[in-house]
Amino acid sequence: MERKPTGIIGLDEMLDGGFLPETANLVEGAPGTGKTTLGLQFIYSGITVQQEPGLVLTFEEFPQQYYRDAAGMGWDLPALEAANKLRVIMTSPEVTQADLRQVGGLLETHVREIGAQRILVDSISHFERLNRDRIDLRESVYGFVNGLKRLGLTAVLTRESTTLLGGDPNIGQDIAFVVDSYILLRYVEIDSAMRRALLVLKQRGADHARDIRQYEITAAGIDVRARFEGRQGIMSGTPTLRMVEAFEGAFGRSRPQS
């Protein structure tokens, strides 16, 4: 099956190659978990490795902020814009929503002009400004997502987490039900430090890894690493050592191997 690699090796492995084409993929995390970095890497890698031009749709930050953030990882966004392979568009949810309802709207024009195949929407949480009711929000996001698919785009939608350190959110009428995949970025406290965990919870129509992996935000972007070992309750944010490991830690690995 055709895939849209994210350019993040470990994540592509977990996704069995990448996102499916023309899908909406939700990436959710608390402040500082690297949602935007992950999304930019998907766009940047799409352009430079897959030859798939891309769009970045931002509802709050100025394009300059993205240029700076990307530059920190050696990604020259202005150059890609000059080469007509990227457009960073600052707009509002209101305009975006109205635009997708008409033929030949602005977004469609952008897509056509650079042949965009990928889009980063940063962040879908701003749609809450338009729709403070959860059911309305869901309908609105669903319409938006379908508009993107009609334009042939594969999308990363970032979303801001509603809990800082791992509580279980209320997901009644959640937009996670209308997207094609759902990736969680979480803080995990281990040994008096905050590590980061990545989990692919859902991928519609394809297999995916189900382990909870550590990752780092490096000078080259998101770096997905091994799964956590010997801990339980990772997604709660405050895991504990499993007792087996605790005993080994205390007494050494002297037990008979079964």
Query: Of residues 146-205, which lie at the interface with a second copy (CB under 8 A)?
Result: 160-174, 176-179, 182, 187, 189-190, 192-195, 199, 201-205
Question: Distance from CA of residue 65 to its chain's centroid?
Answer: 18
Q: How far is the CB of 51 from a second copy (least distance, A)?
A: 26
Residue 236 binds to a second copy (criterion: CB under 8 A): yes
Residue 82 binds to a second copy (criterion: CB under 8 A): no
Residue 3 binds to a second copy (criterion: CB under 8 A): no
Q: Between residues 22 and 81, which has the closer beta carbon with respect to a second copy?
A: 22
Residue 2 binds to a second copy (criterion: CB under 8 A): no
Residue 222 binds to a second copy (criterion: CB under 8 A): no
| Contact between 170 and 176 (Cβ < 8 Å) | no
Q: Between residues 16 and 81, which has the closer beta carbon with respect to a second copy?
A: 16
Which residues are registered as beta bridge partners of 160? Answer: 29
Q: Between residues 69 and 99, which has the closer beta carbon with respect to a second copy?
A: 69
Distance CA 138, CA 177 (A): 9
Q: Residue 83, CB half-sphere, CA atoms under 13 Å: how many?
A: 13
Distance CA 125, CA 158 (A): 8
Collect all residues with Cβ–Cβ distance below 8 Å to 19 and sequence separation of at least 6. 3, 4, 6, 25, 154, 156, 180, 181
Residue 75 binds to a second copy (criterion: CB under 8 A): no
